[in-house]
């Protein structure tokens, strides 16, 4: 991986971890700094989410500081200039989810464009 690719992957990882931070999730303005305006998600439940619906859930405190999300096996690949794919496991309140996200470089920095969670054993 080139230095530029490594930096892109690290930027996406940093953004992903910020988005999992309960303090960030509680702030719609901070979440909006991370999510792409065209963001979509397919949740572990099968529900489709967009920026507006995610803001409703995150500002409601669905992830509390008492039960932080534990992340493991996070890895990333630069698919093309300005596009990074991340995968990892997230555990929260006894639920383990295999997660995948696409990040793209915009005029305002790296933003999450797509996210999917699938229940894992």
Which residues of the chain register pLDDT less than 50? 63
Where exactly are the structural domains of the chain? Answer: 3-59+71-119
CA 19 – CA 117 distance, rounded (Å): 14
- Judged by DSSP in three states, 116 sits in strand
- pLDDT for residue 16: 96
- What is the model's pTM? 0.88
CATH tag, 3-59+71-119: 3.10.450.50
CA distance 101 to 40: 10
Q: Tell which residue, 41, 70, 68, 46, has the closest CA to residue 56.
A: 41
Integer Cα distance of 52 and 32 in angstroms = 10
Question: pLDDT by residue (tens digit) across 60-84?
Answer: 655 455 578 899 999 999 999 999 9
Which run of H or of E encompasses 25?
Answer: helix 22-25
């Amino acid at each position: 991986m080139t230095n530029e690719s490594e930096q892109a992957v690290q930027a996406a990882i940093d953004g992903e971890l910020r988005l999992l931070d309960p303090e960030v999730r509680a702030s719609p303005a901070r979440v909006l700094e991370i999510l792409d305006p065209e963001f979509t998600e397919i949740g572990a439940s099968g529900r489709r989410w967009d920026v507006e619906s995610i803001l409703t859930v995150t500002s409601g405190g669905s992830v509390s500081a008492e039960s932080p999300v534990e992340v493991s096996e996070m890895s990333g690949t630069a698919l093309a200039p300005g596009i990074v794919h991340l995968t990892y496991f997230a555990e929260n309140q006894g639920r383990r989810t295999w997660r995948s996200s696409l990040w793209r470089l915009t005029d305002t920095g790296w933003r999450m464009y797509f996210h999917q969670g699938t229940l894992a054993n």
